[in-house]
Amino acid sequence: EVQLQASGGGLVQAGGSLRLSCAASGFTFGDYGIGWIRQAPGKDREEISCISNNDGTTYYADFVKDRFTISSDDAKNTVYPQMNNLKPEDTAVYSCVAGQCLLNGLGYSAFWGRGTLVTVSS
């Protein structure tokens, strides 16, 4: 059974940091990239970042560049976005996706996981 389990969300003050985790199982981790998508209430889904476990390609949306860093632990089949200098507009449900990570973002998406809520207070 394919599983993508996002965790690490919570309440943080503006300017603070959080590290999310996406633990993957049920598929060959090295064959896929892992991406992060977020959706705030009443807003469209946004692609944030991704990392290819095949060739190390990474992608960051302009609105998170210089604040978020994505990394992958192949031994744990887990991807971590480190989110720094969080802003109230970063408040959203963050979900991870397994698929193809390209220089300009996610290509196809094969598997989706349930999200974790991040709330940034002002």
Q: What is the pLDDT of residue 122?
A: 94
Summary count for the chain: helices (H), strands (E): 0, 12
What does pLDDT average to in each consecutive run of 10 residues of the chain (122 residues)? 96 98 96 96 95 94 96 96 97 97 92 96 96
Q: What is the pLDDT of residue 20?
A: 97
Q: What is the pLDDT of residue 57?
A: 95
Q: What are the two backbone dihedrals, phi and then psi, of residue 42, each rounded to the nearest 5 degrees?
A: 75, 5
